[in-house]
Structure 1
């Protein structure tokens, strides 16, 4: 069996060697065929999306898993249906097994153990034998979920809708809050928990005791006055000039209304009752209800986080970022949490494969 790596019909030497190795160690022809049919689309996708398969990263394989999950297969009467978790696992197993062989054959750098596969003890029994054994299995991020996949997060998909939101006339504080959420992907609780000392908007911040250059904010746990909190551990997030300018407008407005106030919170009540106190989530709900009326569409604070994550991953109005970078920016503990946003790239990712109907991509035969 041969594996073709391009539309010109070039043979993928390493993949073909792997299939021949499987035959030499006694794997059945059906297994070899299934592995080849599941590996070939991954290699084609890697080429089409500008990835070097020899320098594979966990983020690459997580994104490939989203392609496999999002691409429907043929069900009863030829109608498309979602791929079963067991089938997704089989597709990912083929790719991981190829890389395990490639590592052993010195085709790739020997650094994949613990990255895309890890040892697991299999207890004595049908799969573990009489005494149990250690097997090398896919890391959790590459395993299919046994339950139904999480729906793609709701985001502001249409450019005109995003433009309307960003050009909406708002008072200075509210404009800064919307800009901050939209351009940084912060959770609303993280924004409300910000203290003024967390805002480092200078080109050089060493005078603030910070070695990070350029405008950014620090997300961390503070002794808040409004019940808000940062959900995860500390991190810093860069901000664009627009956020810096809207913050300056807000500070001028705040000083005009409150004078030199001592509240450490970035966001405080200015325009209604309880002036000078920390802004609460109830105030944010009220703001976004008014925004929703103005734009004639329901907008929630977390939609701005979903929108920024999707824009980062798809390269919309910004350089495209890889999954791991987005994970860090969003403050996710694992790639699995961030991968829900990769689902929104499903059409782009499938389009990166020159022929989405490669053998095996549209059906589950030969499982």
Structure 2
């Protein structure tokens, strides 16, 4: 389709900096408004991976409008509602596993909500820059009365903050769908991983709860695994890692949290890192690299591992384990394990790198064992009385 749009990775010839843009499929001509919006994400400190995802979602919106002869700058309530409905009723194009399975696959409501969030941000950006009529902004939100406020939310002395602006085009989802992995599943994943580097990455995510971008952005100087690191100028005792926000990592990995933090690690993780170093030392191209996670098994050898390479690895593990295995599931697992073990919520919030305590609500999962234990404790108490 000549008028179609796509997300494309572009490299600035002057600086060599890679960024994501939205361009016409046939001519690679930039869609200036969408590209400016994607550029604004980077100026807000969001990661290149977020740029990539948003670029794809905005291209999807532009194509949806072009195919229906709609002006993307002047969407009506009905057209936005139609987009929301189309997102969950239109089968995805068959490719990869979808092509092999031969069955239609549809977007989830969670995914549709994420697309509508990106479209809403793009249109509001257009309003701010005069490309989109101010009236469009009024279509994107609606007043909502909070009957049950989230934990930690201040409603005000007269409940004046119970009225909020909520997204108008958003499917109601009763179950957030946050998933974690059991210790047995994590152990099984590590058993299935054939390489010391991959086993160390899995264990690092499960032990520290760091985001995948934070793990891929680690430099060797951030990893302090001796009993004392004073010789390195670090006063933190015991083995630990440092998480820093860097914007110049060669693999574009970016720590989401703006504040640096230090996370202790276990002796088992130190041993796995040692195994990984032996594996890495066998690849001369990786000897002098500063990044912790690098390519060892396919070219370009020694280059920092990228998001796509890491996703491929976890996809292979998921197929072998016969259950979902995503990096963020290991992060949820770490937080849930800490909370179940009675670790103070403020400590868990620091370890996870969250600014708001409201972000902690997603991690606490109650399982059947805990509910049975609660009933048994009450029964035992009554029996003693």
Alignment partner of 2:202 out of 170, 173, 178? 178
Counterpart for residue 249 of structure 2: 224
Structure 2 gap segments, 5+ residues each = 1-144, 163-171, 380-385
Cα 1:213–1:328 change in 2 (3 A) is same
Pairing partner for 1:297 from 323, 348, 351: 323
> In the aligned structure 2, how far is the partner of 1:182 from the partner of 1:301?
9
Change (3 A) 1:198 1:263: same
Determine if contact 2:240/2:262 at 8 Å carries over to the other structure: yes
Residues 180-237 of structure 1: CA deviation (Å, up to 9, x unaligned): 1111111000000100000000100111111000010000023300011010031011
Task: Give RMSD over aligned pairs.
Answer: 3.3
The alignment status of 1:261 with 2:283, answered yes or no, reads no
Q: Point out which structure has higher relative CO (alpha carbons under 8 A, 6+ apart).
A: 1
Offset at 1:148?
6.3
Residue 294 (structure 1) shift: 1.7
Larger Rg: 1
What is the TM-score when the length of structure 1 is the normalising length?
Answer: 0.54
**Corresponding position of 2:360:** 338
Paired residue total:
224
Q: What is the correspondence of 1:141-152 to structure 2 with a 5 Å cutoff?
A: 151-152=176-177
CA 1:350–1:342 in 2, change beyond 3 Å: closer, same or farther?
farther
Q: Distance in 1 between matches of 2:314 and 2:257?
A: 24
Question: Matches of 1:149 and 1:236 in 2, distance apart?
Answer: 35
Deviation at 1:314, TM superposition (A): 1.3
Q: Which residue of 2 aligns with 1:250?
A: 276
Q: How much has 1:163 moved relative to structure 2?
A: 2.8
Secondary structure (helix, strand or coil) at the match of 1:342 reads coil
Distance (Å, rounded) in 2 between the aligned partners of 1:294 and 1:119? 48
- 2:353 counterpart of 1:326: no
Distance 2:257 2:368 in 1: 28
Q: What's the counterpart of residue 28 of structure 1? A: none
Corresponding residue number in structure 2 for 1:277 = 303
Matches within 5 A, 1:145-160: 151-157=176-182, 159-160=183-184
> What is the deviation of 1:256?
1.5
Alpha-carbon distance in structure 1 between the residues aligned to 2:154 and 2:312: 48
Contact 2:285 2:301 in 1 (8 A): no
Q: Deviation digits for residues 223-253 of structure 1, max 9, x if unmatched?
A: 3000110100310111111111111111121
Q: For structure 1, list consecutive stretches of 5 or more residues without a partner in the other structure.
A: 1-83, 93-115, 129-136, 139-146, 357-367
TM-score by length of 2: 0.52
